[in-house]
Structures are given as structure tokens and as C-alpha cells.
Amino acid sequence: MTRIRVSLSGGDALQQGDASLLEAWQRGSGARIWTDIEDPTEALLEELLERRFGFHELAAEDSLSPNTLPKYDAFPGYDFFVFRAVDVELREHRTQTLKLAAFLGPDFLFTVHAGALPAIDDAFSRLPNDLRMLNNGPDYLLYEIVDVMVDAHFPLLEKIEECVDALHEEIFRSSQPAQLDELLHLKRDVNALRRHSLPQRELLNLMSRGDSPVIQKQHLIYFRDLYDHMFRISETIDSERDMISGTMEAYLSVIANRTNEIMRVLTVLSTIMLPLTLIAGIYGMNFEHMPELHWLHGYPFALGLMAATVLIMLAFFWRKGWIGKTPSS
């Protein structure tokens, strides 16, 4: 359901309310306004953003479409941004990113998003206690919101790192196809994060370089700080991609190793048993004239022959290093 929250600051006083507060405000009046629109309808956006505030139709459309990547468009009198926030839940291995569209002017900030965004709720509730957030200018308020969104990456990345580490350990104990499947899902998640974080990093780089006219010079350093965090995030993402690849290689090689060990056991046992069976078979033949069968010690002789065969075979395998030398493969 659509929900509009307006925060209006006229210097020392802050008013927070619904859409009706928008009436009390005019561009250039000195008052600063932040309007947050959650789950808007297309009609509302057209009515409010395009007609009433004259934002460009393409920006208004973009503020709703769910898959837009982080971007920056400069329009006369305002800037349009799209950010993406990670959803901190690793639900069913589907890392989701939520969109935040922002129209930023010298005295206004419009934020549009589908679904609740913790960073928005957080800023809305902190605002009454920290008027500076809006009085420093809407660009500073935007910084505060995006800061929460950016820092939300860190716990998620740690969670992923723990998952990969756990899988790595597990694989060296006992490897199963399900682990590979989980690794592939983690890889997909990390790749998705990477795809969103790279343009976001670029966007923050642009903002920190002073390309946007509505961001005040003295605030550039704050966006530079966000850029540094985002840079560290993408480095961490790359590191996790490497870890996942390494773990996959480990998985395959552990399987290869186990096949190897199984084969060795099979081979050692078969090649010992087969000659013995042959000896037993030979003395089980029914020829009339087989001298050994009539020897007094024929039976112990056959058993001795078998024992000798076993010893020769064991010596052969021991020399090959397949048994005894080391307990490993």
C-alpha cells in the first residue's frame, strides 16, 4: 500500500506527517523537505512527480521499474539517482537488492522505493533528534541514508564468508554434491552483489568528485568516504569469489583423491585374491594324474604357495608405495 511520509524543516522546527504537508512547502522558500514514497502506484508518480514537481517522465518511470542499476542523471535544477540496498537476509540463497530512487534538489529530496527500506525508516526516526541531518541540506540527508545502505553490505558479506569457510572445512571431511550446489548458489549470489556494487561504486565516485551541482562542496568528503567503503566492499566481494572458486577446486580434487584411494584398495585386494583363487582352482581340477594331490603334504604345500604369493604381492605394492609406507593416499 502506498505510503507517503514528509519531513519539513523550517530552520529550528521539524514537522513530520503525510502527503498533506507537501502543500505547506514551496521550492526556494528556504524550508527543506524530504518526501519518502513507499510502494507508489504509477498514477501517483505521474501525478505527483511529473505534473506537480515537473520531474522528467523518464526519471519518474525509472523510479518505479524494479531492475534499474545504480545510476546518475543530471536534470536542470535537480539530480536523479538510483541506489541499491542489499536485503540482509540470505533467504534460500537469494540475495536480493532493493532499489532506492532519489530526486535531489537544493532544498528537497524525494525518495521512492518498493517495499520497506530499513535505511529510510532509520533516517525518518532519527531526524527529530538530529535536525542537522536535514538542515545541512538534503544532500547531507541523502548521505546519511546511503551510508546505512552501504554499511549493510558488511554483515551480509561476513555471513557469506562464514558459509564458504564452513563448506570448505566440511568438504575436506566428507564431500557431497549438495555442497557443490550450495557453492554454486553462493557464487551466483556473490556475482549478483558484484553486479550491483560496481555501478554503485562508480556512482559514489561521481558524487564524490563534485559532478553533481546539488551536492555541496563541503559534503564531497562524505561521499568520498562512502566511495571508500564501497571500494572495500567490492574488494571483499572479489576475495569471496576467489574463495568460492578455490573451494570448488578443493571439492573436485577431494573427489578425485577419494576415487584414487578406492581404486587402490580394490586393486590391492583383487590382485592378491585372484592368484590365490587360481591356485585353489588348479588343485580343484579333476585330472586323474595330478601328483601333488597325492603328496602327503600337498595341502600344506598349496597353502604355502598361496602365502608366498601374498608376500610377493605385498612386497610389490609396498615398493610401489601403495601400502604401508605412508597412511595417506
List beta partners, residue 179.
none
Interface region with a copy of itself, contact rule CB under 8 A, candidates 27-35, 91-99, 104-112, 234-242: 234-242
Phi, psi of 67 (to 5 degrees): -105, 5
- Name residues contacting a copy of itself, limited to 268-287 (CB under 8 A): 269-271, 273-278, 280-287
Q: How does DSSP assign 108-127, residue by residue?
A: EEEEEESS--HHHHHHHHHG
Grid cell, residue 29, equals: 522558500
List beta partners, residue 3.
38
Find the angle CA(307)-CA(311)-CA(312) to the nearest 5 degrees.
120
- Interface with a copy of itself includes 72 (CB under 8 A)? no
- Interface with a copy of itself includes 246 (CB under 8 A)? yes
Q: Select from 201, 222, 230, 237 the one that contacts a copy of itself (CB under 8 A).
A: 222
CA 33 – CA 254 distance, rounded (Å): 60
The conformation of residue 187, written as its DSSP 8-state character, comes to H
Q: Select from 195, 202, 205, 305 the one that contacts a copy of itself (CB under 8 A).
A: 195
Closer Cβ to a copy of itself, 129 or 174, answer by number: 174
Interface region with a copy of itself, contact rule CB under 8 A, candidates 94-102, 106-114, 155-163, 320-328: 320-328
- Interface with a copy of itself includes 161 (CB under 8 A)? no
Strand 71-75: give its sheet, edge to edge: 14-17, 3-9, 32-38, 108-113, 97-104, 78-86, 71-75
Closer Cβ to a copy of itself, 33 or 204, answer by number: 204
Q: Smallest distance, Å, CB 92 to a copy of itself?
A: 14
Interface region with a copy of itself, contact rule CB under 8 A, candidates 15-23, 41-49, 209-217, 317-325: 317-325
Over its C-alpha atoms, the chain yields an Rg (Å, rounded) of 35
Closer Cβ to a copy of itself, 209 or 297, answer by number: 297
- Name residues contacting a copy of itself, limited to 16-55 (CB under 8 A): none
The conformation of residue 69, written as its DSSP 8-state character, comes to P
The conformation of residue 209, written as its DSSP 8-state character, comes to T
- Interface with a copy of itself includes 174 (CB under 8 A)? yes
Closer Cβ to a copy of itself, 265 or 315, answer by number: 265
Residue pointed to by grid coordinates 501525478? 47
Interface region with a copy of itself, contact rule CB under 8 A, candidates 18-26, 43-51, 96-104, 238-246: 238-246
Answer for the pair 36, 103: CB distance below 8 angstroms, yes or no. no
- Interface with a copy of itself includes 76 (CB under 8 A)? no
Q: Smallest distance, Å, CB 103 to a copy of itself?
A: 15
Q: Select from 187, 205, 305, 323 the one that contacts a copy of itself (CB under 8 A).
A: 187
Closer Cβ to a copy of itself, 20 or 326, answer by number: 326
List beta partners, residue 71.
82
- Name residues contacting a copy of itself, limited to 87-116 (CB under 8 A): none
- Interface with a copy of itself includes 249 (CB under 8 A)? yes
- Which alpha helices (DSSP H) does the chain contain, by range? 42-45, 57-62, 118-126, 132-135, 138-151, 153-173, 177-208, 220-282, 291-294, 298-320
Phi, psi of 36 (to 5 degrees): -105, 130
Q: Smallest distance, Å, CB 80 to a copy of itself?
A: 10
Closer Cβ to a copy of itself, 27 or 168, answer by number: 168
- Interface with a copy of itself includes 328 (CB under 8 A)? yes
Q: How far is CA 96 from the centre of its chain?
A: 9
- Interface with a copy of itself includes 302 (CB under 8 A)? yes
